[in-house]
């Protein structure tokens, strides 16, 4: 079974081969790919891109260096109109390059595309969620390779709460903040360090990889414009440049939204400059709106957090409703629900934050206790059931296991889509950048035409606290005498019995 092929965009090639010092994640990408025989390719369209560089010296050097990578040639005779119909408007030469790269991904000549171009990510996401998951930032490509081929060494990132005075001001994460915000050091010292303001931090080898600084505000003393008495301001939302990608930002955003929903905030908001395209895209995906610009010229992004039952809306899928109102989701009549049995091994992979149950609650008076993983996930199985309704609820039932919880529903997910993988190669592609499975595990599933593997994409919505044990599930008639061995459809009354076990910060 051949290893996957990575197609790199021009911006990644330049990051690897430029005269400047190579960023750590760019170097890791090349090292990991070489170590595990993962091919790194460039496309003939990228060579055209380089040829348009008006700097003759740089152009000559780049063209000489790109020869070290194998080249994927263009499809003969494909018309621009065909590419535009599939991949969106083509107004400039760069757009044509983007569409050509996505076409190579679509026809399967490459398994993943690695690019730092936010617009290219958005083009892919518009085609489908599954297709979008095959377009990776460099940081996410490195994470994918480590998880897939070096699973034993992988430690899932955890969010920890720290006080600002315990974070070294010399940490590299502050360098770009200083350049973006004149007077940052004085602000950090006076507004964060002295009052020992609470922060959420993701550490990586004793350095800060991601940082969120929060502040409670009141109406009349805030940049927020949406109505509400309890307002949570995210003063700083920063991912270290070499750690940038979807996963780490998503991890931090999940932290913010679960905390705000649980603690009954009405509005959560932050300010950012238009150059922060990755952050802006992430905020937009989960329902933040650009409401206005503040006096400093920053864009203000706000999100309302309701506490009532989330009602379906005409013309909006239940999945999009959940995504825009995350972490809330629709329940009850008209919303399908399923119990999904999951073995301990895969439960620990999908929900590593539940592996240590020494903490009895996700929250206390000061904040979030249990570290979490990302929001968008993928689950693999061979269950006969077919799930078709985007927005359906998935209740994950952990079977009998050595580690607690055992024989209990632990987690609620919101279904996005289901695909069938008929080979290991197709399984790699469909699991995409959301995969937390090792290549050994993927190959061990033996996906074939006759025995395909189901790839279920979903949003992590909530963990039940405490989990609902088998005895309670039987008393509530969610399960009969025995727990299901395969995906089981639940009636509305059974769905509500499970939801009644949780405390989500909104009515279900």
Instruction: Give 230's pLDDT tier (boundaries 50, 70, 90).
Output: very high
Identify the CA nearest to 25 among candidates 151, 137, 101: 137
Assess whether 168 and 136 both reside in one domain. Answer: no
Query: What does the pLDDT look like over 294-344, one tens digit per residue?
Result: 998 999 999 999 999 999 888 999 999 999 999 999 999 999 999 999 999
Assess whether 470 and 487 both reside in one domain. Answer: yes
- Could you give the percent of the chain with pLDDT greater than 90? 60
Average confidence score pLDDT of the chain: 88
pLDDT of the residue at 102: 96
The answer as to whether 335 is a domain residue is: yes
Assess whether 69 and 181 both reside in one domain. Answer: no
Residue 369 has pLDDT above 80, yes or no: no
- 83 vs 181, more confident: 83
What are the tokens at 53? 């560089």
Q: What CATH number did the domain enclosing 32 receive?
A: 3.40.50.1010
Strands 71-72 and 39-43: parallel
What are the tokens at 155? 């430690």
Count of structural domains within the chain: 3
The answer as to whether 309 is a domain residue is: no
Q: What CATH number did the domain enclosing 474 receive?
A: 2.30.130.30
Assess whether 41 and 179 both reside in one domain. Answer: no
Residue 152 has pLDDT above 60, yes or no: no
Instruction: Give 229's pLDDT tier (boundaries 50, 70, 90).
Output: very high
Query: What does the pLDDT look like over 320-330, one tens digit per residue?
Result: 999 999 999 99
Catalogue the long-range contacts made by 420-427 (C-beta closer than 8 Å, 24 or more residues apart). Answer: 420/452, 420/453, 420/454, 420/455, 421/447, 421/452, 421/453, 421/454, 421/455, 422/447, 422/448, 422/449, 422/452, 423/447, 423/448, 423/449, 424/1, 425/1, 425/2, 425/4, 425/111, 427/380, 427/453, 427/455
The answer as to whether 317 is a domain residue is: no
Helix, strand or coil, per DSSP, at residue 421: strand
Whole-angstrom distance, CA of residue 379 vs CA of residue 411? 13
Assess whether 99 and 189 both reside in one domain. Answer: no
Whole-angstrom distance, CA of residue 448 vs CA of residue 506? 43
Query: What does the pLDDT look like over 433-442, one tens digit per residue?
Result: 777 788 888 8
Region 132-140: mean pLDDT is 89
Q: pTM for the full model? A: 0.86
Residue 364 has pLDDT above 50, yes or no: no
Catalogue the long-range contacts made by 435-439 (C-beta closer than 8 Å, 24 or more residues apart). Answer: 435/144, 435/147, 435/148, 435/378, 436/147, 436/349, 436/350, 436/373, 436/377, 436/378, 437/147, 437/148, 437/349, 437/380, 438/147, 438/148, 438/149, 438/151, 439/148, 439/149
Locate tokens 């303001």: which residue?
197
97 Cα distance to chain centroid: 26
Assess whether 343 and 275 both reside in one domain. Answer: no
Assess whether 343 and 466 both reside in one domain. Answer: yes
The answer as to whether 507 is a domain residue is: no
For the chain, how far is it from start to end, CA to CA, in angstroms? 47
- 120: part of which helix (H) or strand (E)? helix 118-127
Residue after which a domain boundary falls, among 152, 176, 192: 152
Expressed as residue numbers, the domain containing 359 is 322-499
The answer as to whether 47 is a domain residue is: yes
Whole-angstrom distance, CA of residue 182 vs CA of residue 411? 44
pLDDT of the residue at 451: 95
Say if residue 229 is exposed, middle or buried (CB neighbours under 10 Å; 0-12, 13-18, 19+). exposed
Backbone angles phi, psi at 186, to 5 degrees: -65, -40
pLDDT of the residue at 234: 97
User: Which residues neighbour 350 within 8 Å (Cβ) at sequence distance 6 or greater?
Assistant: 342, 373, 377, 379, 396, 436
């Amino acid at each position: 079974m051949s290893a996957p092929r990575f197609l790199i965009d021009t911006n990644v090639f330049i990051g690897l081969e430029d005269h400047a010092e190579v960023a750590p994640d760019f170097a890791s990408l090349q090292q990991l790919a070489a170590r595990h025989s993962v091919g790194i390719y460039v496309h003939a369209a990228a060579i055209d891109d380089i040829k348009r560089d008006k700097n003759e010296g740089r152009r000559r050097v780049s063209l000489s260096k790109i020869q070290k990578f194998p080249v994927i040639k263009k499809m003969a005779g494909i018309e621009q109109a065909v590419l535009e119909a599939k991949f969106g408007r083509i107004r400039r030469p760069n757009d044509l390059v983007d569409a050509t790269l996505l076409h190579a991904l679509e026809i399967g000549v490459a398994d993943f595309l690695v690019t730092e171009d936010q617009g290219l990510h958005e083009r892919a996401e518009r085609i489908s969620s599954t297709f979008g998951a095959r377009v990776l930032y460099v940081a996410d490509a490195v994470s994918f390779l480590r998880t897939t081929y070096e699973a034993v060494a992988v430690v899932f990132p955890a969010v920890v709460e720290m006080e600002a005075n315990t974070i070294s001001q010399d940490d590299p994460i502050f360098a770009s903040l200083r350049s973006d915000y004149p007077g940052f050091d004085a602000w950090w010292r006076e507004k964060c360090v002295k009052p020992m303001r609470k922060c959420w931090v993701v550490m990586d080898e004793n350095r800060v990889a991601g940082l969120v600084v929060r502040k409670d505000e009141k109406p009349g003393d805030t940049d927020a414009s949406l109505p509400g008495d309890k307002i949570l301001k995210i003063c700083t939302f920063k991912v270290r440049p070499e750690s940038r990608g979807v996963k780490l930002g998503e991890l931090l955003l999940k932290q913010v939204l679960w905390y705000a929903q649980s603690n009954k905030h009405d509005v959560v908001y932050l300010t950012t400059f238009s150059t922060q395209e990755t952050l802006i895209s992430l905020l937009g995906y989960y329902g933040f709106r650009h409401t206005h610009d503040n006096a400093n010229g920053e864009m203000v992004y706000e999100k309302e957090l309701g506490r009532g039952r989330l009602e379906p809306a005409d013309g909006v899928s239940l999945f999009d409703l959940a995504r825009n109102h995350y972490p809330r989701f629709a329940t009850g009549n008209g919303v399908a629900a399923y119990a999904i049995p999951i073995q301990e091994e895969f439960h620990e992979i999908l929900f590593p934050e539940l592996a240590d149950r020494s903490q009895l609650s996700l929250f206390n008076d000061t904040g979030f206790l249990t570290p979490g993983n990302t929001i968008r996930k993928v689950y693999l199985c061979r269950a006969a059931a077919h799930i078709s309704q985007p927005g359906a609820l998935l209740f994950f039932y952990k079977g009998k296991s050595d580690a607690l919880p055992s024989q209990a529903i632990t987690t609620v997910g919101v279904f996005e889509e289901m695909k069938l993988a008929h080979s290991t190669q197709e399984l790699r592609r469909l699991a995409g950048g959301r995969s937390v499975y090792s290549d050994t595990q993927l190959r061990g599933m033996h996906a074939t035409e006759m025995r395909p593997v189901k790839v279920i994409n979903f949003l992590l919505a909530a963990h039940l606290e405490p989990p609902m044990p088998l005895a309670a599930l039987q008393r509530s008639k969610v399960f009969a005498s025995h727990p299901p061995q395969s995906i089981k459809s639940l009636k509305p009354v059974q769905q509500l019995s499970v939801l009644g076990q949780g405390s989500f910060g909104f009515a279900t």
